[in-house]
Structure 1
Amino acid sequence: MAEQFKNQGGVATSEPSKFVRWLGSKIVPRRVSLDRLLHARRKIEKRRIKDGKPHRVEYFHQVDDPYSHLAVQVLKPLLEAYDIEIVVQLVAGPAGKNLPEPELLPSYARRDCEQVAPYYGLDFPKPCQVAGQEKMALASRILAGAVGKDFAAVAMAVGSALWRGGGALQTLAENNEPLAQIETEKLVRQGTERQLELKHYSGGMFFYGGEWYWGIDRLYHLEHRLIGLGVAKAEDGKLVVPRPAIEDGPLLDDGSLTLEIYPSLRSPYTAISFDKSVALARKVGVRLVLRPVLPMVMRGVSLTREKGLYILMDSAREARELGVEGFGGMYDPIGEPVQRGFSLFPWAREMGREAELLSAFLHAAFFDSINTLSDRGMRQVVENAGLPWDEASAILGNRDWEAEVEQNRLAMYEWDSWGVPSYRLLDKFGETVANFWGQDRLWVVAREIQRVLGKVR
């Protein structure tokens, strides 16, 4: 399997030099530090006041993006809750290396929105129907005609029609004059260029004061920031879209359900959520199965500098919100260190310490700035996992793990997920109940467990 995927080089390299790894260990902690973030925010706010500008939020809407349909439903509530302006930009969405699995994303995004929309109290049909290209083009023209007007109301209606097959779009077009195709394309091009200028790539995004907020899942970060600036119209501190809590009860399982977790050893998102994921499974009593996969760039998935930086910054703020302290002490484990870590996984599983091994490795690589390329670093990992180094050192670097890890990757792709951490919940018959991608879906995993246990009882 090591020969199956080639080193991509550049920012997506899986073979950085020892110097580059060392240099990164010095740069990343400073880049993601809270002090640096707050300093940047103070400078931006000082400049805004000096220039006499309002609190302006830019929202980037993508017509064929399910997450944009969820996001647009909270535009009016945000305007009602905060003294802000919202400027709408239409965008084409990710492309090229920012869209590594174009054949998987659309179907996964639709299913994900179907699953989370009810928990947020938002509209997304289940099952949804995908409109054809002609209706999609008409929807774009209607949206373009609504920019600068009552965009939120029109976009909600367009999205509602679009994800139900598009049958109601013609009536919407009669009541909301569409823009000409050439003018629509111009607006989308301008919005996309604006987003690229601000160094992002996805639809359903919010931008304010130098920072990006992805859809409804990151709005609470923006809301906390606005409240801190005194922009909230009420003083009760309530959020329009609060982060849902991870519920580990009240119902408990006896091992009838199985929770599969698909982690990698070079994922910041895995690093900040792995311990909480394992703790949830153990607290609720579901059977826990760990199915590790190679990091994305080690299996041919592209990565851009903009995307990599966003992931690091986003992981840092998510860690702070989750109460996970110390994230950012990173010593990049890509390549050989990851392989060394995985070479011990089957053995650690035999010892009943596989979760502890992965946890110790992630803490070394993302919290403690430990060089896992060295034997000294790996010894710390092994001993922190409660395992004997003398046994580990004798098998370190074997390749017996490769077939299993590749099998895990293929299993994950079967349900349109290519990123980590991913989760799959199975019933007592081994049938899939639900599957999710992302540390920000752990709360949904927890609630699905409670829902299934409630039905059983």
Structure 2
Amino acid sequence: MAEQFKEQGGVATMDPPRMMRWLTSRLMTKISSPRAVAARHRKAEQARLKTGAPHRVDYFHQVEEGYSALTAQLLHRLVERYDIALHCHLVRGQEGKNAPEPELLARLARCDSALIAPGYGLDFPADVKEPTAELIAAANEILAAQSQEDFPQVALTVSDALWRADLATMSELADRLGRASPEAAEAALEAGTQKRRELKHYSGAMFYYGGEWYWGVDRLYHLETRLAALGADRQPGSQMLAQRPTADMKGARDDGQYTLELYASLRSPYTAVIFDQVVSFAETAGVTLNLRPVLPMVMRGVPATREKGMYIFMDAAREARAAKVPYGNFYDPIGDPVRRCYALYPWAVSEGKGVELCSSFLRHAFALGVNTNTDRGLRRVIEAAGLDWSAAQAHRSDKRWEMTLEANRQTMYASGLWGVPSFRLLGPTGEPLLSTWGQDRLWLVAQTLRDELAKREL
């Protein structure tokens, strides 16, 4: 099965040379450490103070993207709450290797935005279709004509009309607020996209402050925390604008009738952050946990770029710090280490230790800095999972894992998902109740399960 996916080379190689694996691992460990992050923050603040500049936050808005529709609802509140100079830029969607599944991504963004909006006190229509080219052009032309001061409020109004497919309102807004020429709007889009590229990012709904990126409403709490620590919060002590909901079952508990499927890979930084939390959640919530491992993205032909890989690893480290999860002492397990562990997975499952094996591997690779490409490292993984190293030897050439992981991948794709960690919550008869992607969606799983359990009590 693994042979069907093409070796891409470069930063997306699935089998790096030993020295490259070591160097990459040391670099990522160093730059993501709390000390390195704090040093970068101090340097950025010292540079700001030296020039007397305001707290400048750059925001990159993609009008036809669901996540940008959510951030548009918070821009004016962000400016009111924090002592910042907000600079807004229009951008195009992800491009090239940063967008391996553009149509799936756009559809997922719309569906996901509708699911998470209520948790943040925001609005986004359910089952909404992709905006028409005419509406998208009108939205960009109106916003390209606005001043930085007016952009936050106008973005909210324009976004509302766009997602309601309300051409009449859009025309009225253009008449009242002004509209740039198509050429000027294209120039604004190109300028914003180029600035984002220069700052080494690729997505819409992104905030950039002091050398660090913050994605949409999901990561805004990190930016809010940083600004508050610098004394830029005008309402210190008040609840943040984008406080992430918690995965709290609020006393509700299942009796094993519901199933939580976890799609995970052994080289995913986000999986490493959330894996043990999912296991703990399933135990607390009483749901049946069904672990469905898949190959890492680059090992199944999904392209990657250096900027995307860097952002993901740094963001995962930031999320781990916030969740107080051990993370960051990294030894890259891509390629053979992943294959060697997966070869033992069917045996571990037969021993009742499949979850423990994956948990141990992720912990050793992402938190303990163990080289899982050696027998010594793999033995530490196996024994920490409660398995016998000697007994494992008979299973090291097992190929059954390939069919299992490919079946899991196909099921994941059929659910409109292609990355990990992803979740599917299934009802008592196996009906899908929720399909969602991201380590920051466990709260959504909890909310959906709570709602379903409440229905059963009526």
**Class of the TM-score when normalised by the shorter of the 2 chains:** over 0.9
In structure 2, what residue type is equivalent to 1:201? Y
Cα deviation digits, residues 344-382 of structure 1 (max 9, x gap): 111111111111010000011111111111111111111
Check the 8 A contact 1:343/1:396 in 2, yes or no. Answer: yes
Residue equivalent to 1:387: 387
Check the 8 A contact 2:94/2:102 in 1, yes or no. Answer: no
Residue equivalent to 1:83: 83
TM-score (ref. length: structure 1): 0.98
Q: Which runs of 4+ in 1 moved over 6 A?
A: none
Q: % of aligned pairs identical?
A: 50
Residue equivalent to 1:290: 291
Q: For the residues of structure 1 that align with 2:74 and 2:127, how far apart are their CA atoms?
A: 22
- For the pair 1:71 / 2:71, whether they are aligned, the reply is yes
Residue equivalent to 2:57: 57
295-304 or 343-352, which moves further after superposition? 343-352
CA drift at 1:415: 2.0
Residue equivalent to 1:16: 16
Q: How many residues align?
A: 456
Query: Which 5+ residue runs of structure 1 have no aligned equivalent?
Result: none
Residue equivalent to 1:397: 397
Check the 8 A contact 1:131/1:166 in 2, yes or no. Answer: no
Check the 8 A contact 2:86/2:148 in 1, yes or no. Answer: no
CA drift at 1:173: 2.1
- For the pair 1:347 / 2:347, whether they are aligned, the reply is yes
Check the 8 A contact 1:339/1:397 in 2, yes or no. Answer: no
40-49 or 263-272, which moves further after superposition? 40-49
In structure 2, what residue type is equivalent to 1:47? A
Cα deviation digits, residues 265-314 of structure 1 (max 9, x gap): 00000001000011111111111101100000001111100010111110
Q: Secondary structure at the match of 1:47?
A: helix
Check the 8 A contact 1:94/1:202 in 2, yes or no. Answer: yes
Q: Secondary structure at the match of 1:6?
A: coil
In structure 1, what residue type is equivalent to 2:282? A
Check the 8 A contact 1:213/1:221 in 2, yes or no. Answer: yes
CA 1:50 to 1:330, structure 2 compared with 1: closer, same or farther past 3 Å? same
TM-score (ref. length: structure 2): 0.97
In structure 2, what residue type is equivalent to 1:67? Y
Residue equivalent to 2:415: 415
Residue equivalent to 1:28: 28
CA drift at 1:51: 0.7
Cα deviation digits, residues 371-421 of structure 1 (max 9, x gap): 111111111111100011111121113211101101111111112211100
CA drift at 1:89: 0.6
Check the 8 A contact 2:75/2:153 in 1, yes or no. Answer: no
In structure 1, what residue type is equivalent to 2:131? A
Residue equivalent to 1:148: 148
Check the 8 A contact 1:56/1:85 in 2, yes or no. Answer: yes
In structure 2, what residue type is equivalent to 1:265? L
Check the 8 A contact 1:227/1:237 in 2, yes or no. Answer: no
Q: Secondary structure at the match of 1:216?
A: helix
Query: Which 5+ residue runs of structure 2 have no aligned equivalent?
Result: none
Cα-Cα RMSD: 1.2
In structure 2, what residue type is equivalent to 1:393? Q
Residue equivalent to 1:157: 157
Check the 8 A contact 1:88/1:147 in 2, yes or no. Answer: no
Check the 8 A contact 1:12/1:303 in 2, yes or no. Answer: yes
Q: For the residues of structure 1 that align with 2:22 and 2:216, how far apart are their CA atoms?
A: 34
